């Protein structure tokens, strides 16, 4: 029989009635002839509650025990769904990450999957026609035998990894939206659901602010060629919508120049004035930030008015803004800059599309359109299939709508 992986997020399993709805989706796919593995998240709000308990228990908590606590949310959901499926006459059993096993690194709270043995799940398919209901977001470190969690959004990663391990025909990620849109429909009502998106485009969208899929899950899908659908769990289980297929670029017949517009409010701008311009200065600035696990983006270096010095501007996550300033001010004697300026009232707007590879002037059109709307660009970065601009946060909606219309994404 063909194999299918289905993943359901927290809002899809928020209560018993929604879990029953998930079971109806599973029943439909079994009736269609699939052996099914289901990956589930914790019930909506449960992980936050468990994290809160850890913080209340100890200010400086053991990351291994933290993982033992927060992974329990998925275990509860897996057991409940297995019970509901059994009650509906469908053979099912729950699996925790360590039982599969899903082997991970020992970076508790942000572990990476190293290997998965899918043979026990396949045996359950073949011997008992059993639905495997697997706790997402978690695995086990082989050396220590301790549970390790994969970080927020890790259930998406679990699902794609399981799909690759059991050689599933596809992986369906069920969320509270019915697919990937050209941009956020709450900002642009004319935003359209995309039928297909290339892996590379989805990877850029996920990393640049679109929250439909977790970045690592897209990376895994691209590496292992796992066809992935984004679908809504709130569709009628008997008449579901097709959703959006994430696939190889070659599987998309007609590709637009720009596929989507993403934005991220989680940005802060840092500018160092009159930095000493000599070999090693960039390393002196960015190595301490790297050691503090602060991700740096949109780096711009320009010549200063003073000979022998330069100005350096870059962005960091807004949550790391104060920490970044403290690290740089501490290192000021070694770096040798005159002053530090920062702003966290900025937003990064990005246009993504594999069609950019074969079309010139795509970014230039955006710069002109934004200028005509009176929107000043603070920083620019580009790659083969995307460009990003940093602007004042107050112009977010105007900028997104302007670019969405500019590239014809409003049109069906």
Annotated binding-site residue numbers? 7-10, 47, 74, 175-176, 181, 186, 211-212
Point out the annotated binding site for ATP: 7-10, 175-176, 181, 186, 211-212
With residue 398 as reference, give the H or E element that holds it. Answer: helix 396-406
Q: What is the dihedral of CA 19, 22, 28, 33, to 10 degrees?
A: -100
Tell me the DSSP string of 186-229: TT-TT--B-SEEEHHHHHHHHHTT--SS-HHHHHHHHHHT--EE
Asked if 148 and 139 count as a contact pair (C-beta separation under 8 A), the reply is: yes
Is the bond preceding 171 in cis, omega lying within 30 degrees of 0? no
Closest CA to 403 of 381, 371, 378, 380: 371
Q: Strand runs (DSSP E) across 117-164, as ranges?
A: 131-135, 138-141, 147-149
d(CA 129, CA 143): 33
Asked if 36 and 30 count as a contact pair (C-beta separation under 8 A), the reply is: yes
d(CA 85, CA 24): 9
d(CA 33, CA 1): 7
Angle formed at CA 51 by CA 60 and CA 70, multiple of 5 degrees: 105
Point out the annotated binding site for substrate: 47, 74
d(CA 29, CA 35): 8
Query: Which residue in this structure is represented by tokens 């509901």?
Result: 84
């Amino acid at each position: 029989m063909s194999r299918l992986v289905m993943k359901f997020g927290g809002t899809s399993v928020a209560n018993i009635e929604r879990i029953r709805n998930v079971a109806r989706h599973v029943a439909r796919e079994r009736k269609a002839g699939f052996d099914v593995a289901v990956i589930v998240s914790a019930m909506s709000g449960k992980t936050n509650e468990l994290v809160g308990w850890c913080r209340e228990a100890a200010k400086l908590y053991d990351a291994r025990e933290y993982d033992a606590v927060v992974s329990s949310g998925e275990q509860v959901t897996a057991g409940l769904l297995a019970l509901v499926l059994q009650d509906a006459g469908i053979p099912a059993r729950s699996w925790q990450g360590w039982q599969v096993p899903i082997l991970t690194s020992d970076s508790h709270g942000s572990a990476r999957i190293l290997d998965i043995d899918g043979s026990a799940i396949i045996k359950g398919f073949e011997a008992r026609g059993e639905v495997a209901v697997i706790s997402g977001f978690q695995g086990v470190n082989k050396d220590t035998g301790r549970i390790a969690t994969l970080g927020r959004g890790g259930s998406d990663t679990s699902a794609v990894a399981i799909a690759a391990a059991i050689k599933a025909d596809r992986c369906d990620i069920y969320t509270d939206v019915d697919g990937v849109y050209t941009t956020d429909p709450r900002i642009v009502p004319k935003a359209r659901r995309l039928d297909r998106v290339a892996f590379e485009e989805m990877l850029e969208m996920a990393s640049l602010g679109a929250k439909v899929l977790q970045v690592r899950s897209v990376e895994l899908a691209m590496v292992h060629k796992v066809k992935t659908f984004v679908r809504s769990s709130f569709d009628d289980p008997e008449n579901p919508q097709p959703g959006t297929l994430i696939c190889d670029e070659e599987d998309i017949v007609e590709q637009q120049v720009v596929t989507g517009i993403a934005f991220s409010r989680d940005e802060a701008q840092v500018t160092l004035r009159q930095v000493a311009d000599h070999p090693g200065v960039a390393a002196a600035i960015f190595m301490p930030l790297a050691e503090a696990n602060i991700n740096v983006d949109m780096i711009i270096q320009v010549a200063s008015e003073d000979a022998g010095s330069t100005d350096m501007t870059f962005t960091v996550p807004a949550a790391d803004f104060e920490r970044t300033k403290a690290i740089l001010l501490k290192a000021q004697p070694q770096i040798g800059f005159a002053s530090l300026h920062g702003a966290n009232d900025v937003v990064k707007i990005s246009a993504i599309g594999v069609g950019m590879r074969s079309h010139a002037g795509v970014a230039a059109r955006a710069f002109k359109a934004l200028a005509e709307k009176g929107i000043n660009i603070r920083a620019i970065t580009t790659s083969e299939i995307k460009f990003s601009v940093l602007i004042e946060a107050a112009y977010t909606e105007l900028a997104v709508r302007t670019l969405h219309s500019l590239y014809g994404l409003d049109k069906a």
